[in-house]
A and B are shown apart, each in its own frame.
Chain A
């Protein structure tokens, strides 16, 4: 537990009679890329919602960086370094690309009501932040769109924006729910290459749900497989492909 960044112990969540997540235990070591796969409706998104704080579990415990977080409000989990990119992107549609990215930065002085009116107190920090954001947006090739409303971007760009906007916030763990879905194949490849690069260069950790196994299996260290709310298998990609339970789950529906 001490060496793992994220640790789940028998986490359970029901919706009415349906056990969407049933006694799930798992470990995510630091600086790893871990995949999560499973048929539709197997509880993957629900599990991410529990980790990020969108939902609270009925029972079980979640630890992040050694702290128990399962009752913590989502904004405090983010402050610990937990970033979540939704399956269906949730960007701020009435805000520009730049605003979307800037708002994700942590510890901004100008976010305090009594400091905000006094520009001089926060302008230096703001300019430094903007310069960091500039390099991130340049890297993602979104820099020329900085003043565009995010709702005017293409689907792939929106997905990309959701992903990159948190990079400047000193994240530790990224939860990515289907980063490759609804994205042109070339961009999807680029996104996965970038994930791999971020792990190597910035020591980030990734926990990724992805249906496109070809993309996922290229970069992951380990894969968890869920079915009907339970983890039915875990292992390296090549082991998972051979696993009979996994085949059954996918074929049996």
Chain B
């Protein structure tokens, strides 16, 4: 394989992993618990902001860099130090992931209060606004990630690897591992009595309460966990592209997450992974097409939006429940019933055979 192709696949895999974490966490919130989180980009950006704030400051402290954090020379120095000090860099990376996760969880917990009070559509709009306000705030407040300019010089944790391809592949493998763990864990959580309670809250919150479920507790746990995951995805993204730029975190991220969910199948994790794959392939693929290939009367970057919206319409019209519709939960209780039904059928069959003899 040519190195260019490997780089393309590797980048695609990294983006796929980030999308999967985002869309799976949204599925947990909306597909299973019925919380319409339209502020997805907010929790995602949180991880990036934490990374953009934490990494440079720690590096400046550890390595006594004198230049101001936002300066171009400081940014170069951080990259150079990243190459020279792999161990410290890895530590900083891991700490950023953990810190993003923790802060995501805390903010998720705080925001679970309004989300318990507000009804679906109001909550959706409120979260949408929170996300946008946060972006505007961060871009105007230079002390966080250098305002509108954003902050650069976040060294990739594998920057010290000399071979460019190995470096790329290492990071995408790491991202994919985190995405896989997310999938595995959410599948476990959902196919259990816990997941049953979440679905009951989604279907009828009051009835669930009347069956002894502490709806507030479940909802805030879900929001904490999902926000934590989103922030981790944001941290991965920041390290991948190497800078944090507030105007990157516009509503499009939220829309993408929803699109992946609707495409793949609300309430079906496997479907959501597939939805993410479709999205990332279109998204990455279109970026590779040089604009002179297609003579379009508009900028090629708009083509993506058009394709996604057409895709959404087609899905809503022909497969309203997504590519893989939701299925009953795979719990041990279901196994018990399956066995019982199978045995009773066998029993009946034997009876028929016996009586006919």
* Chain A neighbourhood of B285, CB < 8 A: none
Q: Does A95 lie within 8 Å of B197, measured CB to CB?
A: no
9 contacts between A and B (CB under 8 A): A78-B212, A94-B199, A95-B328, A113-B221, A113-B225, A144-B341, A146-B341, A147-B334, A147-B337
Stretch at the interface among A57-65, A117-125, A230-238, A241-249: A117-125
B331 at the interface (CB under 8 A from A): yes
Which residues of chain B have C-beta atoms less than 8 A from A22's C-beta? none
Is B215 an interface position by the 8 A CB rule? yes
Give every chain B residue within 8 A of A54 (Cβ-Cβ).
Answer: 206, 210
* Interface pair A104/B211, CB less than 8 Å apart: yes
A20 CB within 8 Å of chain B: no
CA distance A53 to B211 in the complex (A): 11
Asked if B67 CB lies within 8 Å of chain A CBs, one says no
Given A111-B197, A169-B212, do A117 and B206 touch, yes or no (CB 8 Å)? no
A interface with B by C-beta (< 8 Å): 52-54, 73-76, 78-79, 83-84, 86, 90-96, 98-99, 102-104, 106, 108-113, 116-117, 119, 122-123, 126-127, 129-131, 133-134, 143-144, 146-147, 166, 169
A84-B210, A94-B326 are contacts. A111–B194 as well, Cβ < 8 Å?
yes
Whether A130 and B336, one on each chain, are in contact in the complex, defined by CB atoms closer than 8 angstroms, is yes
Q: Which residues of B contact A (CB under 8 A)?
A: 185, 188-189, 192-197, 199-200, 202-204, 206-215, 221, 225, 267, 326, 328-329, 331-334, 336-337, 340-341
Q: How far apart sit A84 and B207, CA to CA, in the bound complex (Å)?
A: 9
Do residues A112 and B194 form an inter-chain contact, with CB atoms below 8 A?
yes
Contact indicator A93/B203 (Cβ below 8 Å): yes
Once the chains bind, are A99 and B196 in contact (CB under 8 Å)?
Answer: yes
Chain A residues with Cβ below 8 Å from B194 are 110-113, 116
Task: Indicate which residue in B209, B215, B328 contacts A99 across the interface (CB closer than 8 Å).
Answer: B328
Give chain B residues whose Cβ lies under 8 Å from the Cβ of A126.
193, 331-333
- CB atoms of A94 and B203 under 8 A apart: yes
B225 — nearest CB in chain A belongs to which residue? A113
The residues of A that contact B337 with a CB separation of less than 8 Å are 98, 130, 134, 143, 146-147
Contact partner, B328, options A96, A103, A108, Cβ 8 Å:
A96
In the docked arrangement, what's the CA distance between A134 and B331, Å?
14
Q: Say how far B223's CB is from chain A's closest CB, in angstroms.
A: 12
B332 near A127: Cβ-Cβ < 8 Å: yes
Question: Bound complex: CA of A93 vs CA of B204, how far in Å?
Answer: 8
Known: A74-B206, A102-B331, A122-B193; 15 extra A-B contacts, CB below 8 A, are A74-B209, A75-B215, A86-B207, A92-B199, A92-B207, A94-B202, A95-B196, A99-B328, A102-B196, A110-B192, A119-B192, A126-B332, A130-B336, A147-B328, A169-B211
- A106, B210: Cα distance in complex, Å: 12
What is the distance, in angstroms, from A171's C-beta to the closest C-beta of chain B?
Answer: 11
Report Cα–Cα, A207/B330, bound state, in Å.
36
